[in-house]
């Protein structure tokens, strides 16, 4: 028997799922279908979905963060509909059969526990090692990347992935600083950036720099681009793709991906009309943002954008 909602772990480590109602309405189609949560985190969205699904449904819960995977495994032990998967969704989605899933969810970026635990290195407010890897078992930490990248590479990353106007000044300072001692701590970097970037209102001066480094260290945009392609391949006809992004770079990728597959190709008016009506791959179901009540309860929801599309063929 599938566990009832009351049996399920409610450990969210302070992570509130964003746009919970719109996500469930968008992601959930067939009640006995196979679903993929590409970004399990603390499972807020997954648990909501399981409450709706029938006993015959399946949920694959993916995360690249070992702590999140441990949470997903704990849920899988309580609910036989759930399978936990450890890794990057960009590598795991291609292992699913084509047209096998009723819904795929991506809730991009980092979770509250990742941000709150100083030792993970994502926070410019709590001191910790300059790590920022969602999966600390693989790849270069932010400290390693900053130690080896050229000044131009650092400036380009801050500009393109952080949309930081002071990218050249910050990169110059980082390179000057690392010549005397390696940059190893989050607050060291945050203070360095604050010495050249003025505070903008309540936003910390290092916000954009930390965003850029996180994106580079985790190849977040690369994972998103290939993950979207694979998600479309694994969706069945009528299946739903729901993606939550937290900054304009991500949202642009999602918007363009969905829009390009939701429109008919340009018609050459000199040719006779085709007898078959063109059916696009996707139908756009909507774009959602948090309302005032959610914003009051969850500051992370401020920049969240949910886009939902349905596979038509």
Ligand X SMILES: C[S@@+](CC[C@H](N)C(=O)[O-])C[C@H]1O[C@@H](n2cnc3c(N)ncnc32)[C@H](O)[C@@H]1O
Q: At what angle do helices 220-234 and 248-262 cross, to 10 degrees?
A: 30
Pick the binder of ligand X from 29, 43, 103, 162 (CB under 6 A). Answer: 43
Pick the binder of ligand X from 223, 254, 282, 301 (CB under 6 A). Answer: 223
Question: Is residue 162 a contact residue for ligand X (CB under 6 A)?
Answer: no
Question: Is residue 26 a contact residue for ligand X (CB under 6 A)?
Answer: no
Question: Is residue 88 a contact residue for ligand X (CB under 6 A)?
Answer: yes
**By the 8 A CB rule, do 156 and 244 touch?**
no
Pick the binder of ligand X from 26, 29, 42, 59 (CB under 6 A). Answer: 42
Instruction: Find the part of the chain contacting ligand X (CB under 6 A) among 35-43, 51-59, 125-133, 199-207.
Output: 35-43
3-state class percentages of the chain: helix first, strand second, coil last, to nearest 5: 45, 15, 40
Smallest gap from residue 211 Cβ to ligand X (A) = 14
In angstroms, the CA 302 to CA 260 distance is 27
214-228 b/e with 16+ CB inside 10 Å = b?
bbbbbebbebbebbb
Pick the binder of ligand X from 29, 33, 103, 109 (CB under 6 A). Answer: 109
Pick the binder of ligand X from 15, 120, 208, 214 (CB under 6 A). Answer: 15
Instruction: Find the part of the chain contacting ligand X (CB under 6 A) among 87-95, 160-168, 261-269, 302-310.
Output: 87-95
Smallest gap from residue 130 Cβ to ligand X (A) = 18
**Edge-to-edge strands of the sheet including 282-288?**
82-86, 58-63, 34-37, 101-107, 235-245, 305-311, 282-288
How many binding residues for ligand X (CB under 6 A)? 22
Smallest gap from residue 39 Cβ to ligand X (A) = 3
Cβ-based neighbours of 1, under 8 Å, separated by 6 or more: 55, 80
Task: Return the structure tokens found at 261.
Answer: 């597959």
Question: Is residue 45 a contact residue for ligand X (CB under 6 A)?
Answer: yes
**By the 8 A CB rule, do 174 and 191 touch?**
no
Question: Is residue 39 a contact residue for ligand X (CB under 6 A)?
Answer: yes
Beta bridge partners of 283: 310
Instruction: Find the part of the chain contacting ligand X (CB under 6 A) among 105-113, 142-150, 201-209, 262-270.
Output: 105-113
Q: How many residues does the chain have?
A: 313
User: Which residue number has the CB closest to ligand X?
Assistant: 41
Beta bridge partners of 282: 311
The footprint of ligand X on residues 111-140 (CB under 6 A) is: 111, 134
Instruction: Find the part of the chain contacting ligand X (CB under 6 A) among 43-51, 124-132, 158-166, 170-178.
Output: 43-51
Q: List residues binding ligand X (CB under 6 A).
A: 15, 17, 39, 41-45, 62-65, 68, 88-90, 107, 109-111, 134, 223
């Amino acid at each position: 028997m599938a566990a009832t909602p009351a049996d399920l772990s409610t450990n969210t480590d302070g992570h509130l799922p964003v746009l919970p109602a719109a996500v469930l309405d968008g992601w959930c189609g067939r009640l006995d279908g196979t679903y993929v949560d590409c970004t399990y985190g603390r499972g807020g969205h997954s648990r909501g979905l399981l409450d709706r699904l029938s006993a015959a449904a399946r949920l694959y819960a993916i995360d690249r963060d070992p702590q999140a995977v441990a949470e997903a495994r704990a849920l899988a032990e309580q609910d036989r509909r759930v399978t936990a998967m450890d890794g990057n969704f960009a590598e795991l989605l291609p292992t699913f059969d084509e047209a096998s899933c009723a819904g795929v969810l991506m809730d991009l970026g980092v979770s509250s526990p990742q941000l709150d635990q100083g030792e993970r290195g994502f926070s410019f407010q709590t001191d910790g090692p300059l790590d920022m890897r969602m999966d600390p078992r693989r790849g270069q930490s932010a400290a390693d990347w900053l130690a080896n990248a050229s000044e131009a590479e650092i400036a380009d990353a801050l500009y393109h992935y952080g949309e930081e106007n002071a990218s050249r000044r910050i990169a110059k300072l980082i390179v000057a600083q690392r010549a005397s001692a390696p940059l190893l701590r989050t607050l060291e970097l945050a203070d360095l950036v604050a010495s050249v970037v003025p505070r903008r209102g309540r936003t910390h001066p290092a916000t954009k720099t930390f965003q850029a480094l996180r994106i580079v260290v985790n190849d977040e945009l690369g994972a998103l681009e290939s993950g979207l392609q694979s998600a479309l391949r694994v969706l069945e006809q009528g299946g739903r793709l729901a993606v939550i992004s937290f900054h304009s770079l991500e949202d642009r990728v999602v918007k363009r991906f969905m829009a390009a597959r939701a429109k008919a190709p340009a018609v050459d008016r000199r040719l006779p009309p085709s007898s078959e009506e063109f059916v696009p791959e996707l139908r756009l179901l909507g774009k959602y943002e948090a309302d005032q009540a959610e914003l009051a309860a969850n500051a992370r929801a401020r920049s969240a954008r949910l886009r939902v599309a349905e596979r038509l063929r």
